[in-house]
Amino acid sequence: CAIMDPPRPECVDAIKIAHGAGVRVAMITGDHKDTALAIGGMLGLVDKAHSEAITGPELDAMTDEELQVAAPKYNVFARASPQNKIRIVKALQAQGEVCGMTGDGVNDAPALKAADMGV
């Protein structure tokens, strides 16, 4: 027996609209890697170019320079800590990306502040 909490339809629609406008959408979550990939697939974040997820412990083992190379390769970041979230935002910004971040918890506040746009 398992509990399923699928993404809301309006989230799926919003991501489709963002993709249509040329916006790359990534998900940074504390969820397990397999769960994150499943949800990412439902949201349309998993595709041929971004078929895998990377975990917080894997990010922790990377230098900032290595993370700058890795971050654009993933749309799903799993088991991410608040520190991982900030590093992901900063790595993407270092590559010239404009980063927007959404979050609903105290653990999201530092990354929301670091992002170019926090919601």
Confidence of residue 5 (pLDDT cuts 50, 70, 90): confident
Contacts of 37 (CB under 8 A, 6+ apart): 46, 52, 53, 76, 78
Average pLDDT, the chain: 94
Residue 41's pLDDT is 96
Residue 111's pLDDT is 94
The pTM of this model reads 0.92
**pLDDT of 4 strictly over 90:** no
Contacts of 3 (CB under 8 A, 6+ apart): none
Mean pLDDT (whole number) for 40-65: 96
Residue 71's pLDDT is 96
| Residue at token pair 């506040």 | 109
Per-residue pLDDT of 60-92, as tens digits, reads 999 999 999 999 999 999 999 999 999 999 999
